[in-house]
Chain A
């Protein structure tokens, strides 16, 4: 769906992006992970032509974006930024309606779409439609930002550190929302973050950037596995990487049949990390799994996890 081919960008002396080549398949949520200044935003902004690469090309559905009118291109790509950038002189509904208006939808269709989207991002339309951005909390504003990006149902969504400015609880709430929306709508999403935990919570694939280079790319477990180069492991925090890896493993894939009397119950869909935290909290060496058949997860399974 999105393909970078030997893409480079330099700003005077600074080589912000150096010969990056990789692709994001259709329907995949790919996280661009790397330290601040590693060139993630620069790469992301090449997709909707906010930046023109000084070398290489970016393809969208096989077409070089350089040949697409920037305005038309951008109206077909959702864009969410850390600082949200809602228009302060417009109501929440008008903000969400920005792109449908540019596309010339009729009023009734826009109104229906706005309500549907507000509901989708967890904001009661009747309560929020007429509100001004200044009256929203950070989390609510970013929900509106997400609704605005999704308004015209673009197949591709670009998100630049969308949740980084939010407090941890709000951030987790919005991450869950995004996972749900991604599962339901099947968008192709490229999301920038410097947070390994966030990457693991969201990613189908992870692309790791370091000093303008793509240093690793693939499914989370492969990228964060033992075979990952030492430099990448160091950058991602080698000391906690083993722990973070557990976030990418689903507990039920390692569960054993049978009851575990007295063991705490792990919620459905829990990860190995959730299971380990549960065991630490309760001081037990096993957790019971929710579900029809009796299953449990022993601590040894976590230690033996690949």
Chain B
């Protein structure tokens, strides 16, 4: 546990160092892409791109959690059972439309920038969280909820003291999927003009600069991996009482 956290911290430091070094590593990029005249991406600071990428993807994940988790809780209440198919259908629809399509469809409505991307990311991330919440709560053995009821826990106490703590591993696994998906998918937002680690990819593609594409792809993937690690550390072994 301790060791894994240390490795994670080292990985994060290496990532930040690479972001800092990338604009200065002219030599490295020109060695890789000799035909490109200006191979180092220097238009914007990588840290600015990282910041807005994180704000966008984590913000979207947060919003997705604020939608998906309460919807999952509502769908598992005895009063919400009837609601369940409707909620499921709505979220399945959201999931079956690819994010690029959502962005494209939202463009005329929301205009260029971060908004269409945010919309796509939220719709995309809410479903895994809804599913995880429902699965997690429904995996709590019936005799445990029966005992909780029989001992006089109120519905709210049953949810917060029994169901959610026992659903925690499944919930955190869902959260991890949602965040990782969100971080990886945010890069697509560059198409609609959202500033993020995908921006150099789009610029590189439109200007026939494979060096930009590589740098953007590298850092996007690296960030997604780092966050996945971090969240698996959180969700991993039952650390809390």
Contact assessment for A87 and B152 in the assembled complex, using a CB-CB cutoff below 8 Å:
no
With an 8 A cutoff between CB atoms, is A50 at the interface? yes
A140 proximal to B (CB < 8 A): no
Contacts of B162 in A (CB 8 A): 87
Q: Which residues of A contact B141 (CB under 8 A)?
A: 83, 85
- If A73-B152, A99-B151 touch, does A85 touch B146 (CB 8 Å cutoff)? yes
Q: How far is the CA of A140 from the CA of B150 in the complex (A)?
A: 20
A contact residues around B148 at 8 Å (CB): 85, 87
CB neighbours (8 Å) of A128 from chain B are none
A87, B144: Cβ atoms closer than 8 Å: yes
Q: When each residue 124-150 of chain B gets 1 if its CB lies under 8 Å from chain A and 0 otherwise, what string results? A: 000000000000000001011011111
Contacting pair B144 A88 (CB below 8 A): yes
* Chain B residues with CB below 8 A from A76, complex form: 152
**Interface check A8, CB cutoff 8 A:** no
Q: Mark B215-241, 1 if CB is under 8 A from A, else 0.
A: 000000000000000000000000001
- Is A137 in the interface zone, CB < 8 Å from B? no
B153 and A79 contacting across the interface, CB-CB below 8 Å: no
A131 within 8 A of B: no
Q: How large is the interface on B (under 10, 10 to 19, 20 to 34, 35 or more residues)?
A: 10 to 19
Is A89 an interface residue, CB under 8 A from the partner? yes
B154 at the interface (CB under 8 A from A): yes
B24 within 8 A of A: no
B11 near A: Cβ within 8 Å? no
Asked if A85 and B147 sit within 8 Å, CB to CB, the answer is yes
The answer, among A50, A84, A89, for a CB contact under 8 Å with B166, is A89
Instruction: Report the Cα distance A75→B144, complex, angstroms.
Output: 16
Alpha-carbon gap, A145 to B157, bound state (A): 19
State the CA gap A85–B154 with chains docked (Å): 17
B144–A102 contact, CB under 8 A? no
How far is A70 from B143 in the complex, measured between Cα atoms in Å? Answer: 19
Contact B149 A148 (CB under 8 A): no
Residue of B143, B146, B150 with most chain A CB atoms under a 10 A cut-off: B150
> Would you give the shortest CB distance from B102 to chain A, in whole angstroms?
38
Contacts of A86 in B (CB 8 A): 144, 147
What's the dominant secondary structure at chain A's contact region? mixed
Interface membership of A98, Cβ < 8 A: yes
Q: From residue B148, how far is it (CB to closest CB) to chain A in Å?
A: 7
Given contacts A83-B143, A85-B143, contact A102 B152 (CB under 8 A): yes
* Known contacts A87-B162, A102-B157: A48-B150 contact under CB 8 Å: yes
Beta-carbon contact of A85 and B144 below 8 Å: yes
Q: How many residues of A contact B (CB 8 A)?
A: 25
The reply to whether B152 and A50 contact each other, CB–CB distance below 8 Å, is no
> Contacts A84-B143, A85-B143, A87-B162 known; A79 to B154 CB distance under 8 Å?
no
Q: Please, which residue of chain A has its CB at the minimum distance from the CB of B168? A: A89
Using CB atoms, name the residue of chain A closest to B149. Answer: A50
Residues 77 to 95 of chain A near chain B (Cβ within 8 Å) = 79, 81, 83-89, 91
**Is B149 touching A74 in the complex (CB atoms < 8 A)?**
yes
The CA of A76 and the CA of B165, in the complex, are separated in Å by 25
A185 within 8 A of B: no
Contact A50 B143 (CB under 8 A): no
Contacts of A294 in B (CB 8 A): none
Cross-chain contact of A81 among B147, B152, B154 (Cβ < 8 A): B147
- List the B side residues contacting A70 at CB < 8 Å: 152
Chain B residues near A158 (CB-CB < 8 A): 150
A contacts, CB < 8 Å to B: 48, 50, 70-76, 79, 81, 83-89, 91, 98-99, 102, 145, 148, 158
Interface residues, chain B, with chain A CB atoms under 8 Å away: 141, 143-144, 146-154, 157, 162, 165-166, 241
CB-defined A-B contacts under 8 Å, sample of 29: A50-B146, A50-B149, A70-B152, A71-B153, A72-B152, A73-B152, A74-B151, A75-B151, A79-B147, A79-B151, A81-B143, A81-B150, A85-B144, A85-B146, A85-B147, A86-B144, A86-B147, A87-B144, A87-B147, A87-B162, A88-B166, A89-B241, A91-B241, A98-B151, A99-B151, A102-B151, A102-B153, A148-B151, A158-B150
User: Given A86-B144, A87-B162, list of 12 further CB < 8 A pairs?
Assistant: A70-B152, A73-B152, A81-B147, A83-B141, A85-B141, A86-B147, A87-B147, A87-B148, A91-B241, A98-B153, A99-B151, A148-B151
